A and B are shown apart, each in its own frame.
Chain A
Amino acid sequence: EVQLVESGGVVVQPGGSLRLSCAASGFTFDDYAMHWVRQAPGKGLEWVSLITFNGGTTYYADSVRGRFTISRDNRRNSLYLQMNSLRTEDTALYFCAKGAAAGTGGHFDYWGQGTLVTVSS
């Protein structure tokens, strides 16, 4: 059974930093791209970032480029999101999602339950 478990969400002040983690199990982690998707309270889904199967290529939404860094550790079956220079508009539930392909061009076939990041003074 595929499982994705996010952690690391907390309340942080504007300008602060945070690192989210996603522990994956139930599939061959290093065969697939992984994504972060967020959802602000009461709003829709926003794709944040993608990392290819081997970590060789990363992509970001314009709203986070230069502030967030996606990474993965294939030995630990883990995905990460380093979030710097946080803004109030980054407040959201952050989901980890498994891509159906090794790189871009794949839908999201499994999602975690999310971890809540609140940016507030």
Chain B
Amino acid sequence: DIVMTQSPDSLAVSLGERATINCKSSQNILYNSNKKNYLGWYQQKPGQAPKLLIYWASTRESGVPDRFSGSGSGTDFTLTISSLQAEDVAVYYCQQFYSTPLTFGGGTKVEIK
């Protein structure tokens, strides 16, 4: 099974400042035939279902603000919120969809400092 490890578990960032979340997979999730990283990022606000933010590690889902960006390849990935807004308070999860069982990271809780 591919283990997804997120860091930190939580972080507090001032409004307008940058938030960075890391995600590491225990195996390479870059598929050589199409050069795509099988990695997604989801946002879950309190009391709500998760929402897709980023897929293929760096492709922003339609309607997602451009302050959210994803980067990385192979085994190391990052979600960046360039300028934190109050509505970004949530738990963020990475997920690999390279192989079953599909696995999520443990989540990173983002709060306002």
Residues of A within 8 A of B (CB): 35, 37, 44-47, 50, 59-62, 95, 100, 104-114
Q: Is B71 an interface residue (CB 8 A)?
A: no
**How far, in Å, is A36 (CB) from chain B's closest CB?**
11
Given contacts A44-B104, A44-B107, A107-B52, 7 further A-B contacts (CB under 8 A): A44-B106, A47-B95, A50-B102, A59-B101, A108-B50, A109-B61, A111-B50
Residues of B within 8 A of A (CB): 31, 38, 40, 42, 44, 48-52, 55-56, 61, 91, 93, 95, 97-107
- Whether the pair A111, B100 counts as a contact (CB closer than 8 A) is no
Residue from A47, A110, A111 within 8 A of B102 (CB atoms): A47
Residues from chain B with Cβ under 8 Å of A46 in the complex: 104
Complex-state Cα separation, A6 to B99, whole angstroms: 26
Q: With A and B bound together, what is the CA distance between A30 and B49 in angstroms?
A: 23
* 17 A-B interface contacts by CB (under 8 A): A35-B102, A37-B50, A44-B93, A44-B104, A44-B106, A44-B107, A45-B104, A47-B95, A47-B104, A50-B100, A59-B101, A61-B101, A100-B55, A105-B97, A107-B95, A108-B50, A113-B48
| Chain A residue contacts of B102, Cβ below 8 A | 35, 47, 50
Cα-based distance from A47 to B42 in the complex (angstroms) = 13
Smallest beta-carbon distance A71→chain B, Å: 17
A37 contacts across to B, CB distance below 8 A:
50
